[in-house]
Amino acid sequence: MNILDRFLKYVSIDTQSNEDSTSQPSTAKQLNLLKLLRDELEAFGVEATLDEYGYVMASIPSNLDHEVPSVGFIAHVDTAPDAPGDGIKPQIIKNYDGGEIPLKGVPGLSLKPSEFPEMLHYKGQTLITTDGTTLLGADDKAGVAEIMDAVQYIVAHPEFKHGPIKIGFTPDEEIGRGVVKFDVKRFGADYAYTMDGGEIGELEFENFNAASAKIHIQGCNVHPGYAKGKMRNAILIGQELCALLPVSERPEYTEGYEGFFHLISFKGEVEQADFAYIIRDHDRARFEDRKALMVKVVDFINSKYGAGTAVLVLKDSYYNMREQVEPHYHIVEKAVKAMEMAGVKPKIQPIRGGTDGANLSFKGLPCPNIFAGGLNFHGKMEFVPLESMEKASEVILNLVSLFAE
């Protein structure tokens, strides 16, 4: 099976995760793809397991006569809850001409180079887009397809020299729980790579430190005609709280290494309101300062309106993997060389987000992130160039060869 057919097969399976669920995996439908992947690996003759938590782990023994480190490749199967993830109808645009691409599921909607100029980097290539009604799922089914394509090559070419190879597929990455119960020791890799980056050439070993902040505002509702001195409008108190945070430190005003406070949801009425934030910063000290500012803001609201008006639940999500990967910088250097061998120009940059690799690195498995090829993740404008997926698969094979030296 070629990589395009494999990718189209995987995106046809709805695997959206659910942040409100307490199960692992968070949605049973993710198991449909995870079981398929286990079965496909076994059909290749590769030993593979699927455990109770939804982790597929597979191992390809070394065919060398000397010991080398074992290298792993990991991708997540779930898609983000930010846009519909079922009934995906991909469009395949061959020999892209550089113009607008109509997304035929929604009249008048199109992918426009004027809005997404990076499209022009892929003129003459084959682009896979959505039809405008769903996301595509290249995050991270492109990575899944790339890993499986490389495995297919390795088992079909016994002359290809390699050390021990470990394969992992995970659920629930999009809701921050992708490797909570991942058994690094059982996985058995010395080093690993997540195939979960964006456009071709991306290589990342730095990510945000991340926290969530959930704030409950307790107001007091009385008839508005008799409200003077009695009513406390939870919506307005929440707005006041939000206004105390720096406007310039919202996602829409930041880039590169700049962190932010991001209001991701609001639900409220006069009596009570709930606000949910995510807090992000690459620098650990600034990250701690941001959390401290959130506490200070909540304390101010309580001093003004009374104790218990605002209740904050602040929780760390993950940390910057750089401190765990940098002592093993040779794995970054190998990824650079593997890309160059494939004719890809490496672009080392910080992730303005997180990956399973961040938590895996803190579990003792240094795990940089390599491009999967997709763009505009988590939305209806998502697309992936076929040639980028092909190059990613080639990079995997090059890495395997480099670790075999």
Whether residues 214 and 358 share a domain: the answer is no
Structural domain boundaries, residue 340: 3-206+320-403
Whether residues 90 and 196 share a domain: the answer is yes
The CATH number covering residue 261 comes to 3.30.70.360
Strands (DSSP E) along 282-351, which ranges?
310-318, 347-348
The pLDDT assigned to 351 comes to 87
Among 318, 341, 368, give the residue marking a domain's end.
318
78 a catalytic residue = yes
Whether residues 7 and 113 share a domain: the answer is yes
The pLDDT assigned to 317 comes to 87
Whether residues 236 and 306 share a domain: the answer is yes
Whether residues 198 and 336 share a domain: the answer is yes
Whether residues 276 and 350 share a domain: the answer is no
Whether residues 185 and 137 share a domain: the answer is yes
- Tens-digit pLDDT profile for residues 158-213: 999 999 999 999 999 999 899 999 999 999 999 999 999 999 999 999 999 999 99
Among 291, 318, 345, give the residue marking a domain's end.
318
**pLDDT < 70: residue spans in the chain:** none
Q: Of 14, 40, 172, 173, which is the active-site residue?
A: 173
The CATH number covering residue 153 comes to 3.40.630.10
Number of domains in the chain: 2
Phi/psi at 200 (5° precision): -55, 135
Q: Of 14, 40, 78, 382, which is the active-site residue?
A: 78
C-beta separation of 261 from 294 below 8 A: yes
Residue 373, C-beta contacts closer than 8 angstroms, at least 6 positions apart:
138, 142, 146, 198, 199, 200, 384, 385, 388, 389, 391, 392
Whether residues 176 and 64 share a domain: the answer is yes
If phi > 0 it is left, if psi is from -120 to 50 it is alpha, else beta; for residue 351 that is beta
Whether cis (ω within 30° of 0) applies to the bond prior to 5 is no
Distance CA 350, CA 302 (A): 37
100 a catalytic residue = no
Specify the amino acid at residue 31: L
Whether residues 371 and 257 share a domain: the answer is no
Distance CA 109, CA 132 (A): 7
Whether residues 238 and 288 share a domain: the answer is yes
Whether cis (ω within 30° of 0) applies to the bond prior to 107 is no
Distance CA 272, CA 295 (A): 19
Distance CA 52, CA 76 (A): 16
Whether residues 96 and 183 share a domain: the answer is yes
pTM check: above 0.85? yes
Among 271, 296, 318, give the residue marking a domain's end.
318
Whether residues 15 and 138 share a domain: the answer is yes
Q: Which of 349, 57, 342, 38 is nearest to 188 (CA)?
A: 57
